[in-house]
Chains A and B, each alone.
Chain A
């Protein structure tokens, strides 16, 4: 177990000796782990363990002080977030902000990457191409909303739906970006149990269809049920890594959560 689990055969995301300090605080302290293709990998740890910092480092929002991040075998360390996304790593946020003045399906349409209509000149030189891709994307967005059983929300203003529904829309939108690996930051925080169950079902379904997930979650029941393997983070470094069962019974993990370590 522990760091010995590396290297993995087919890692879609590989984090190697990643470091980041804020002032004197090492928020990420030589973190090393990998996410194997086809898994739902859980990332847990007590408050302040550095989970969100790690997410920001991986997705390019923070620049690491040291170490590397590889997506699909490409070194993406130090790249801009949009470049990391172009390599197939998409992330969601803990508290999604609602897109003002957009309907749900409009908000969905931000998802697809590299749309021809995102080039200003193409709008005028080749409007037909834009219309074609927009039609295709709209059909795909509506299909995904149907899969998520929220197609009735399609034409609702995005500001009018509940926080839980927004989390579903976020996940649905991320799927439109066709991620190789999807990072979910607390997908069920503040979501009611019924919707949380639905989200869990969706994540599992998408995983079976081939999407790899890395998710941060505080809801232990949720993460233990869904994720395998689980990476435990404490004070910025990887404490241990293993099956839910193994992690649950690991004394160091219990210590970290209960503060026995210090």
Chain B
């Protein structure tokens, strides 16, 4: 049922945590909006944050497709993110040591192909084995990729990184000139603190458009895949791989598909990042990105696409929100406080809601198949809701 058909029923359909998340999100957006109007938060910076949130959402979507769906432990999120970022940067940047100057669409294609090749390279030897082997191999892979980027100067420019990356829409009709073509706007909602919207703002809104397109497409694909028989096999593998094999499922192939899909989505996040930041360096491959993606997925609820989205937004809020604490006198530095806060959030979630804030709730059967016979989509009052308290089995 859609929100438009029957808003009241759609809201009544929400579970309590869903209601909470919705309420807090609305309040948060209002808060940001007020902050923007009063001039406390620059609109361009705000759009940058939205872009970052979209990027983290993509990373968590990717990891969710691997860990949340299939139970694959991938510790090389940062590597696939970096491959995406460097893939497009090497093709498009003016400072690229090998190619450069190509259209960002070429960059996108190259990034995805390299990520695909890398996913196959690491998947082929490990996915036939138990889950632990992928975990170990991916941990190593992340470091190998980072060290190659750092040391192979002929290829990547080494520690200097790559400058001169164009915006994603450069060279496109209409969109490339859109930011300059738009007039500067001056809004004065609250007297004395005008909000000025100019070229940088319009440039930033293009980036938001791009990340919305990427994340929207990823979400659409994952949502459909998750509730399909394909997704059901993945979820079976997560609980009991031998059972899936005994029922005639080629689990190696399914695991590979899940791994590749997730890796491509992570690379997509990297492509977006390169064209948002216009500079990439080896520091972007630091393992902290992997850590953030894992926190986002666990926090949101493993296996849930909405949860991954939510987790990604929370991560950005904590990461960027703590910057504002610079203005407040605190007994400790904001930088370590950031990690501390994330630690506290994770401990709290594990203690009080181990299944995550928004676990996948409804039964996942291809939607139109359930329609006729039984009660549609809502018979179980939260499958995941009941588990995870440690009281089953």
Chain A residues proximal to chain B, CB less than 8 Å: 59-61, 80-82, 85-86, 90-93, 96-103, 105-106, 109-111, 113-120, 123-124, 127, 130-131, 133-135, 137-139, 142, 154-157, 159-160, 173-174, 177
Contact = CB atoms under 8 A, between A and B. Distances in A.
B323 interface: no
Most chain A CB atoms below 10 A, which of B225, B246, B363: B246
A109 B393 CA distance: 23
B368 A119 contact: no
Contacts of B247: 85, 90, 110-111, 113, 173-174, 177
B380 interface: yes
26 contacts: A59-B246, A60-B245, A61-B246, A82-B249, A85-B245, A97-B240, A98-B239, A99-B240, A100-B235, A101-B387, A102-B232, A102-B383, A106-B364, A110-B232, A110-B236, A111-B247, A113-B248, A117-B230, A118-B230, A118-B233, A124-B221, A130-B228, A130-B229, A131-B366, A133-B229, A159-B392
A60 B250 CA distance: 13
B242 A61 contact: yes
Interface of B: 221, 224-225, 228-230, 232-233, 235-236, 238-240, 242-251, 257, 261, 303, 359-360, 363-366, 368-370, 372-375, 379-380, 383-384, 386-387, 392-393
Closest 9 CB pairs of A and B: A85-B248, A117-B229, A134-B369, A155-B379, A134-B366, A81-B245, A97-B240, A135-B369, A115-B229
Contacts, number: 148
Nearest to A100: B239
Contact of B387 (A60, A105, A159): A159
A101 B248 contact: no
A141 to B, nearest CB: 10
Contacts of A106: 232, 363-365
B384 A101 contact: yes
Contacts of A123: 224-225, 228, 230
Among B257, B363, B364, B369, residue most surrounded by chain A Cβ atoms (within 10 Å): B369
Nearest to B224: A123
Given A93-B246, A109-B365, A123-B228, A101 B373 contact: no
Given A110-B244, A155-B374, 9 more contacts: A106-B363, A109-B229, A123-B230, A131-B368, A133-B229, A139-B373, A155-B380, A159-B386, A159-B393
Contacts of B363: 102-103, 105-106, 155
A102 B232 CA distance: 9
A80 B386 contact: no
Nearest to A103: B363
A103 B230 CA distance: 16
A120 B225 contact: yes
Q: Tell which of B224, B229, B392 has the most Cβ of chain A within 10 Å.
A: B229
A134 B380 CA distance: 19
Contacts of A131: 366, 368-369
Contact of B248 (A109, A116, A124, A177): A177
Contacts of B240: 96-97, 99
Nearest to A138: B369
Nearest to A81: B245
B386 A157 contact: yes
Contacts of B379: 103, 155
B61 to A, nearest CB: 16
Contacts of B368: 131, 134-135
A131 B227 CA distance: 11
A134 B251 CA distance: 20
